[in-house]
C-alpha cells in the first residue's frame, strides 16, 4: 500500500502550481506565503524561486524545517520538509519561466535571484476529486446515516500518509 500512496502523493503534487511555504520566524512564530512551484521532482524535491535577501531565506537559515501546503477545491497536500537556498545558475536557467519576470524583473541573470530546494520527508494527502470524490461522498453519506464520521484511512485513493 505504501508504494500506491507514494505514487498517489507524487501524482497530486504535479497538479499544483502554487503552494504555501511555512517557515518559523526568529521569535518562533509560523509564517506562510504563497510560492509558485518551479518544479516537482519524482523523489519529492520541490524547487521555488526567491530573492536571496528575503525573510524566508533568513528564516530557513535559522531553521531549515518547513511545511509546504497545497490546496484546490477538492485536493489537499501537506508536506513535512527541509529546505535550503541553492545558488545554481544552471538550475535557474533550466527552471526559468518568463511569467516569473513579474517578481524578478531582471530575469534569470539577476544576481539577487536564488532557488529554494525543498526536500519532502513525509506527506499527507486528501483527494476528493473524480472517482476518489465519489468514493468519499458514498463513505460520507453512509457515515452520516449511521451517525458516525467517515473512515477513509483504509482507502489510499482518498487519503494517505507517506514517509519519503
Domains of the chain and CATH, by start: 2-127+158-163 (2.30.110.10)
- For residue 157, the model assigns a pLDDT of 85
- For residue 1, the model assigns a pLDDT of 46
Q: Which of 72, 91, 53 is nearest to 132 (CA)?
A: 72
Instruction: Profile the chain (164 residues) by mean pLDDT over runs of 10 residues.
Output: 80 95 96 97 93 95 97 96 97 94 93 96 92 80 84 84 91
Burial 67-96 (b: 16+ CB within 10 A, else e): bbebeeeebbbbbebebebeeeeeebeebb
- For residue 3, the model assigns a pLDDT of 60
Question: Is 74 within 8 Å of 18 (Cβ atoms)?
Answer: no
Which residues lie below 8 Å from residue 134, measured CB to CB, with a gap of 6+?
Answer: none
- For residue 61, the model assigns a pLDDT of 95
- For residue 68, the model assigns a pLDDT of 98
- DSSP-derived letter for residue 135 is H
Q: State the cell numbers at 145.
A: 446515516
Which residues lie below 8 Å from residue 95, measured CB to CB, with a gap of 6+?
Answer: 38, 39, 47, 49, 115
- Cα distance between residue 71 and residue 133, in whole Å: 15
Q: What is the dihedral of CA 32, 33, 36, 42, to 10 degrees?
A: 0
The residues pairing with 131 across neighbouring beta strands, listed in sequence order, are none
Query: Could you give phi then psi for residue 137, rounded to 5 degrees?
Result: -60, -40
- For residue 136, the model assigns a pLDDT of 79
Q: Which of 133, 121, 37 is nearest to 76 (CA)?
A: 133
- Cα distance between residue 1 and residue 86, in whole Å: 34
- Cα distance between residue 150 and residue 164, in whole Å: 27
Amino acid at each position: 500500500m505504501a508504494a500506491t500512496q507514494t505514487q498517489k502523493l507524487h501524482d497530486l503534487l504535479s497538479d499544483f502550481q502554487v503552494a504555501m511555504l511555512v517557515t518559523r520566524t526568529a521569535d518562533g512564530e509560523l509564517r506562510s506565503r504563497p510560492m509558485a512551484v518551479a518544479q516537482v521532482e519524482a523523489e519529492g524535491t520541490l524547487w521555488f524561486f526567491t530573492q536571496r535577501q528575503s525573510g524566508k531565506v533568513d528564516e530557513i537559515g535559522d531553521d531549515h524545517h518547513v511545511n509546504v501546503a497545497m490546496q484546490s477545491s477538492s485536493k489537499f497536500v501537506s508536506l513535512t520538509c527541509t529546505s535550503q537556498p541553492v545558488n545554481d545558475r544552471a538550475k535557474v536557467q533550466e527552471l526559468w519561466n518568463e511569467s516569473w519576470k513579474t517578481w524578478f524583473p531582471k530575469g534569470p541573470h539577476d544576481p539577487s535571484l536564488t532557488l529554494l530546494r525543498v526536500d519532502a520527508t513525509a506527506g499527507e494527502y486528501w483527494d476528493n476529486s473524480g472517482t476518489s470524490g465519489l468514493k468519499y461522498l458514498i463513505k460520507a453519506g453512509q457515515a452520516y446515516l449511521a451517525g458516525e464520521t467517515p473512515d477513509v484511512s483504509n482507502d489510499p485513493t482518498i487519503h494517505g500518509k507517506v514517509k519519503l
